[in-house]
Structure formats: C-alpha cells, structure tokens
Structure 1
Amino acid sequence: MQEEECNVSLSLAVGGVGDLPFIKNLDQTSFKEEKEEKRDGGGAGSTRKKLRLSGEQLALLEDSFRAHSTLSPDQKQELAQRLHLQPRQVEVWFQNRRARTKLKQTEVDCGFLRRCCERLANENRRLKRELMEMRSAVKPGPQLSVEHLKAARLRMCSSCEKMTSDENESSLLSTINS
C-alpha cells in the first residue's frame, strides 16, 4: 500500500489576541532577538537609521500591547508623547508586534495540526495493517460461500420457529393456516 504524505499548511487570522492563552503567557524575553536587532543597528548598507528603543520604552510598549493589541488615535498619541516618539513609530511598532504575535500563534497551531496529522496517519496505517491481516486470515473458500448462500435462503417460520427455505415456505404457510 502507498502511504500518503502528511503535508499541513495553515493560514490563520487571529481576532482578539488578548483572549488567547498563548498570548497571555508571552513575556518580553520571547522577543529578545528582535530587541537585539534593534540595538545592533541595520547593517553595512542600511541608509535609514533604525529606531532603537530603550528598555523602559519597550516595557511600556509591551504593557500597552498586552492591555490592547490595537490603539485608538488618542491612545496612540498619548503613548507617543510618553515615549517621546512619533505617533507613526508607535503605530508601526504595534503593527509589527501584531504580525509577530500572529506568526508565533500560527507556528503553534501548525505544530499542533502537524502532530495531529501524524497521529491520524499512524492510526490509518495501523488500521490498514489490521484490515489486511483480517482479510488474509479469513479467506472464503468455495465451501464457505456455498454455506453462506444456503443460510441466506433459509428463513425462520415465526409460528413454529423452524427453519424453512423459500421453496418450502408457501406449502408450510398453507399447512399452518388450515
């Protein structure tokens, strides 16, 4: 038998990220790489200056994100003033953070579905193997099939509880009715 390959791809859109248990358990260390990139700077060929946020700014942004993953214009303006940033910089940070959150949740969901698919594929192989074993153990011979045909033609007479065949049924019923 040919085995099917388990190929799972997943595309999700997450609505209220605050309701997800994965998001509630996020801590700031999970984004250490992104923070280090911000501290290290762009690269040799980078023309734009990369925004470097202080630890206090990051902490305030993370706390605000946990409270609300999207900001109203007033909230964005207030947060930008508190952080001494442009409102657009706060907006972009929130967009990037939502994208990272969505990507991480998608990876978690994809891993779960991949494991589920592997379990189902293993069970499918096991069931196919059992079916083949059962079929090979019970090979109907010519004698067995003839007996099944005879048994299929027999019926139980309800009044006398005797076995009768289709040919004898009409004579038996006429005897019982008289």
Structure 2
Amino acid sequence: MLLSLILISSLSFTVMPSHSNQCDFLDRDAIRTMTPARLAVDFLYMRAQFCGSVSDYDAAIADLNTAIDLAPDSPGLYLRRGQMYLGLYEWDQSLQDYNRAIELAPAYADAYFNRGVLYYSILQTGQALREDALADFRQYLELAPDGEHTGQAAEYVAKIEAELTVAGE
C-alpha cells in the first residue's frame, strides 16, 4: 500500500494536448528509473505539503527534515520547510532555509520572493530590512518576469520604494 502511494505521488506528467486520454501523459519510464531514495523524498515532500495545508507544521517539518537528510542539495525542500517554519512563527529558521535555498540555486526565483515577504511582512523593523526586501522582490522579477508571484512582487516593489522615499525625506 505504501509503495503504491509513493508511486502515485511520484508520477510525472508531460503536457501533450494531442492526446485525449489523460493516462497517455504518464511518463512511465521516469518511474522505472527512480531510486527508492528519490521516491521517498517525493513522498515525504507531498506528505509535508498535505500536513502544511491542514496546519500541522510540526509534522510537515519532520517529513521535510527526513527528505533533506536524503537529498541535502534540493533547494525546493529548504523553501518548503522555510514556509512551514513561518507557520510556527520561527522567523530565524525560515530565513535560514530561504538563504540555503538561494545558496543552492541562485536563480531560484521563488526563494527570493518568499524571503522578500519574510523581510517585509514579518521582520519589518528598520530601513535595512525594507531595502533587503526590495532587493529580493526585484531579483524575483528579474528571474521570473512572468512568474506566479510577478504581480505581488511588483506591488511590493512600488510600496517599498514609496516607503523608502517618505523615510528619506
């Protein structure tokens, strides 16, 4: 049963609009070549997402800790764990994970966006953090001009620029 859940959670899909049957999209070869460790990481990640969606952040973090032990160079795991730490109001841990995600993948736009939100919304004490947030939102926009958070990042940039202008007067 557990193996079935792991396999189901690890399926990768390819968009091929010419097929009418959704099962044609399954990349069955990818499943055959996955290592048990990779399957475990994918399963733990998905279970952590579920736990986070029901606000069980401790369980999510425990799963992500195990996944990180298996795949310590995966920036997505650090990003997700940083988000879970936010749910527990553990700002320093969250910041540490966002920094690690960026260290592992300097072009990982979502890590910059999340760190910018942390700097701006949570740690909003002092002008230096505003400037750090502004730099992160600008970096996100540079890396992902059509990304999922582009609108929000642009709004943050405008808001922070206005705040810094007022503060400088």
Fold shared, TM-score > 0.5 on shorter chain? no
**Which structure would you say has the larger RCO, counting Cα contacts within 8 Å and 6 or more residues apart?**
1
Structure with greater helix share of residues: 2
Larger radius of gyration: 1
